[in-house]
Amino acid sequence: MTATSTVTTGSQAPIRHKRRRVEPIYYFFLFPTLILFTLAITVPGVIGIFFSFTDSIGIGDWNFIGLTNYIALFNDPAILQSYLFTFGFAIATVIVVNVTAFLLAVGLTSKIRFKTGLRTVFVIPMVISGIIIAYVFNFLFSNSLPAAGSALGIPWLESSILANPDLAWVAIVIVTAWQAIPGALLIYIAGLLSVPADVYEAADLDGASKRQQLFRITLPLVAGYVVINMILGFKGFLNAYDIIVGLTNGGPGTATRSIAMTIIAGFNGGDYAYQMANATIFFIVAVLISILQLSLTRGRNQV
């Protein structure tokens, strides 16, 4: 059913606008989902924020202590270190993933043989569990590469970089990128395939080189896909946990402990309220980043 409204503009004849009523079936799907989301996400989140103002250990009695947990957070070197590592890791991984995935997408959409089969091969890492990937690479970094380094006489390769507090993050970036590249690759392939072939044919007739076509045609036309990959990737890498656990478990020491690891470790160690305050701060930071990204990319992320 529809409802009509009449709008009169000066001396012109009335213009009738039809407003479509929402079918009841939509509410049938909306309300159960809304209720489940509220009970599973919103209510626990509000409860957690409340307990961040207490001294609760997760069970038993508790007392309201105001902003004490939040003040302590900003004076805790371990918390600040986890934030620095997480953001540095996320930025480095986003760059590695998007550069690699874009170059692979360009190659896999060009006129080469077996490109369909190659696309399938490159997508395989995306369907493997992160913790399994981490344990496999842990063995490679801890045993296979040092053995190869000793056999080849390469001193810097003879010891595992996972034990080096200055280089362990590199291994985490490599493994995380190895798993994340296929997802970004699929998005870039979709973007490249959406570019009309006529554009490249016209560029060829004008004498544009492949390099000029890449930077002046391809990149501008798939800029929206780049934005999508950057935003999704950065948000995902901020929550890094399983691969870090499998590779370094936050070590050496706390050199590679992410924010998520710090929060979960606190929950398990009876530091519930303190880490809930940490989780609240992390949530606020993530919301601010989302708002900033949307404001910077509004109007330029259309695909």
Which of 155, 163, 297, 148 shows the shortest CA–CA distance to 230?
A: 297
Q: Within this chain, do residues 161 and 18 fall inside the same structural domain, yes or no?
A: no
**Does residue 60 fall inside a structural domain?**
no
Tokens of 272: 């519930």
Q: Is residue 56 part of a domain?
A: no
pTM over 0.95? The answer is no
Residue 223: Cβ-neighbour burial (10 angstroms; 0-12, 13-18, 19+): middle
Q: What integer pLDDT is reported at residue 256 of this predicted model? A: 92
Burial of 265 (0-12, 13-18, 19+ CB in 10 A): middle
> Same domain, yes or no, for 89 and 225?
yes
How many domains does the chain contain in total?
2
Is 201 domain-assigned? Answer: yes
Q: Which two tokens stand for residue 80?
A: 């600040």
23 in helix, strand or coil? coil
Token digits of residue 276: 């809930």
Where do we find the tokens 């601010």? Answer: 288
User: Are 42 and 175 in the same domain?
Assistant: no
For range 135-164, the mean pLDDT: 88
> Is there a contact between 225 and 193 (Cβ–Cβ < 8 Å)?
no
Assess if residue 288 is contained within a domain: yes
Which tens digit of pLDDT belongs to each residue from 94-121?
Answer: 999 999 999 999 888 887 777 777 778 8
pLDDT digits (tens, 9 = 90+) for 7-41: 555 555 555 556 677 788 888 888 889 999 899 98
- Clarify whether residues 18 and 150 are in a common domain: no
Tell me which residue of 100, 86, 259, 85 sits closest to 177, measured CA to CA. Answer: 100
Helix (H) or strand (E) run with residue 18 in it: strand 15-20
94 and 222 assigned to the same domain: yes
Same-domain pairing of 267 and 171: yes
Query: 275 near 262, Cβ under 8 Å?
Result: yes
Residue 61 lies in a domain: no
Q: Helix axis angle, 259-268 relative to 272-297, nearest 10°?
A: 160
Is there a domain that residue 58 lies in?
A: no
285 and 179 in a common domain: yes
Which domain does 39 fall in, by range? Answer: 2-51
- SS3 label, residue 256: coil
Question: Do residues 173 and 42 share a domain?
Answer: no
CATH assignment of the domain containing 248: 1.10.3720.10
Q: Has residue 271 been placed in a domain?
A: yes
Give CA–CA dist 46/277, Å, rounded.
Answer: 12
Domain identity same for 38 and 147: no
- Per the structure block, which two tokens stand in for 167? 């280089």
Q: Do 44 and 139 reside in the same domain of the chain?
A: no
Residues 40 and 152 in one domain: no
The reply to whether 69 falls in a domain is no
57 class by beta-carbon count within 10 Å (0-12 exposed, 13-18 middle, 19+ buried) = middle
Question: In angstroms, rounded to a whole number, what is the distance separating the alpha carbons of residues 55 and 221?
Answer: 53
Q: Is the pLDDT of residue 83 over 50?
A: yes
State which H helix or E strand residue 31 sits in: helix 24-37
What percent of the chain has a predicted confidence (pLDDT) above 70? 91
Q: Which residue has the tokens 């003040």?
A: 71
Instruction: Express each pLDDT in 163-194 by its tens digit.
Output: 888 889 999 999 999 999 999 999 999 988 88
* Statement to judge: residues 83 and 46 lie in one domain: no
